[in-house]
A = this chain, B = another copy of it.
């Protein structure tokens, strides 16, 4: 049952629009549990398609899935100094089990480094046991004060990769391999272009040596951190005493990485593409890529149009297209169009009695445009059309991002920009956390990344945008989710 309530236009209230789109598409719903949401079948199907694509990439690059306990002894968190400081304030704590007070409280995992390293200490003895390339699909709890569907919820679903290596360069290479793989997924599946680069200390994962991130730009010109990949150095190995015998007979701590993306990606998908009618879902992640709507008045027409619709559905499914026939009785075609548009289905094929005679359908793209489509070669043209829609979404999003990116700003421009339209602002950065903090206080903008070479400005900035001291690197500022 789709909500009949209208969608607040983006221009009126972006945040209300976002919630309305999610409700109309039935991606998720609020639960009676503070800060926790229910992911409804349409939203969960998108997550499953994301999982499948990412999981294939992880397995192709030699990673294996495993599963570690949900509950972690509270003392484990404290073993890595930065880690406990970062996560302890956000934990949900189990104090009672089976009717009794526990001797040591357990926290629900806010991330699994600690429990995983306690096991790696047992499993890794020699360089022959390395690398260990693990991934886990799991639920996570972080006690958030302000929650928003998909973007920030007390419980969320994610994958967390954890790898251990014999050398620092190997671990660094893994961190970057995953960063590239995330970017490829975000661009090719979510059709969400992302900036990649390294994070400043202020935005670094608690316990990491270096954090790399993927940053998308949403339609309200705020940045979304869509995935992170951390080089952990030997921090967790030392904290949990994960040592191994090296090839030349010595002992060393393993070098490690961790990396994750979450159901937050669905929020990114919504805010990158959707419009005032509802969800726009990229074909690669659409639960139904094509919905066929037969149109009839008489029984004979019903039979004829249904027959064609079902035949085309089967043909399309045979070539791997997720096609669906909406043959519901007692519902007008217009109501069906409205529903599937709200749910973001990329392509609708309307099959009326006259279309049957001409062996065609009226093809309506969710992103605009309506034209007859011959059904004889639908198994060729429909996949092409879907690929075209997918590519268009990415290039549109990229154009939008570039239109809202500005390079080489001055201090005054940075302030004015963040107060007006926001977006990405590129400028020099001295690397001093004090400047970063001052900019944040003045503009609410943070350094999203020190961008990777391909995103950097042709001319490297030489001075810090804030203090005018020499720039250590170029940085990208934005207000962020």
Is B155 in contact with A71, judged by CB distance below 8 angstroms? yes
Is A70 within 8 A of B139, CB to CB? yes
Q: Which of A25-33, A298-306, A370-378, A414-422 forms contacts with chain B? A: A25-33
Q: Copy number of this protein in the oligomer? A: 2
Near B by CB (< 8 A), chain A positions 216-232 give none
Report the minimal beta-carbon distance from A327 to chain B, rounded to whole angstroms: 15
A391 proximal to B (CB < 8 A): no
**A18: shortest Cβ distance to chain B, in Å?**
20
Q: A134 CB to closest chain B CB, in angstroms? A: 7
Nearest chain B residue, comparing its CB with the CB of A124 = B1
CA distance A136 to B39 in the complex (A): 10
A29, A33, A95, A123 — most chain B CB neighbours (10 Å): A33
Residue of B nearest to A41 (CB): B64
Stretch binding the partner chain, chosen from A86-94, A439-447, A472-480: A86-94
Query: Are the C-beta atoms of A69 and B118 separated by less than 8 Å?
Result: no
Scan A152-187; emit 1 where CB is below 8 A from any B CB, else 0: 001101000000000000000000000000000000
Separation in Å of the A176 CB from the closest CB of chain B? Answer: 23
Bitwise interface map of A from 106 to 129 toward B, beta carbon under 8 Å scored 1, else 0: 101000000100110011011011
Do residues A98 and B145 form an inter-chain contact, with CB atoms below 8 A? Answer: yes
B-facing residues in A12-60 (Cβ within 8 Å): 29, 31-33, 36-41, 44-45, 47-48
Which A residues between 307 and 327 are near B, CB-CB below 8 angstroms? none
Q: Is the CB of A94 within 8 A of B108?
A: yes
A22 vs chain B, min Cβ distance (A) = 14
With A and B bound together, what is the CA distance between A201 and B157 in angstroms? 37
- Verify A33–B1 contact, CB threshold 8 A: no
Q: How far is the CB of A59 from chain B (nearest CB, A)?
A: 10
**Residue A65 is within 8 A (CB to CB) of chain B in the complex:** yes
* Interfacial chain B residues near A73, Cβ < 8 Å: 32-33
CB contact under 8 A between A66 and B94, given known A1-B123, A122-B29: no
A68 contacts B by Cβ under 8 Å: yes
Pairwise interchain contact B98-A95, C-beta atoms closer than 8 A = no
**Cα A141 to Cα B94 with chains together (Å):** 12
Closest to A116 in B: B38
Q: How far is the CA of A64 from the CA of B45 in the complex (A)?
A: 8
* A155–B98 CB distance below 8 A: no
A155 to B70, CA, bound (A): 8
Within the complex, what minimum Cβ distance (angstroms) separates A249 from chain B? Answer: 16
A212 within 8 A of B: no
User: Is A72 at the interface (CB under 8 A from chain B)?
Assistant: yes
What would 27 A/B residue contacts be, using CB atoms closer than 8 Å? A1-B123, A29-B123, A33-B71, A33-B106, A37-B69, A38-B67, A38-B68, A40-B66, A41-B66, A44-B65, A44-B66, A67-B157, A70-B108, A71-B155, A91-B97, A91-B98, A92-B94, A92-B97, A93-B95, A93-B96, A93-B97, A95-B96, A96-B105, A97-B154, A98-B145, A99-B143, A139-B139
Q: A31-B68, A41-B64, A95-B95 are in contact. List 19 more A-B contacts (CB 8 A).
A: A1-B125, A29-B123, A31-B115, A32-B73, A33-B73, A36-B70, A37-B69, A38-B119, A39-B66, A39-B67, A41-B66, A90-B98, A92-B96, A92-B98, A92-B106, A93-B94, A93-B96, A97-B154, A108-B108
